[in-house]
């Protein structure tokens, strides 16, 4: 088994809504290639995300939302996964003992 694979397990929930990604991209006037390049990943991954073959990681969703100038929640399903905000998680400071 290839542990580097990012393919979604059959039946697993998406972090994104494929149709929402496509709609936001088209509303921004971008091609799949342009969005992929600006967000920093491959055109193949972009095609797979929009087709629902691969799951967009939270980091990829944030990158796409930044390029599309929309909220991450706009690219996510209304239920089934934890909604992300636009800011990546930050490390917590350890309390002194």
DSSP per-residue string spanning 14-82: PSS-HHHHHHHHHHTT--HHHHHHHHTS-HHHHHHHHHTSBPPPHHHHHHHHHHHTS-GGGGS-SSSSP
- Does this model's pTM top 0.75? My answer is no
pLDDT in tens, 4-45: 445 556 666 667 889 999 999 999 999 999 999 999 999 999
pLDDT in tens, 57-94: 889 999 999 999 999 888 987 755 555 555 554 545 55
What residue ranges define each of the domains in the chain, with the CATH number in brackets? 18-73 (1.10.260.40)
């Amino acid at each position: 088994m290839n542990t580097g694979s990012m393919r979604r397990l059959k039946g697993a929930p998406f972090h994104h809504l494929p149709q929402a990604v496509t709609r936001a991209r088209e509303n921004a006037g971008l091609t799949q290639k342009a969005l992929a390049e600006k967000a920093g990943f491959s055109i193949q991954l972009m095609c797979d995300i929009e087709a629902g073959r691969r799951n967009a990681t939270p980091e990829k969703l944030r990158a796409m939302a930044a390029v599309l100038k929309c909220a991450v929640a706009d690219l996510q399903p209304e239920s089934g996964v934890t909604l992300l905000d636009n800011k990546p998680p930050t490390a917590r400071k350890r309390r002194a003992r």
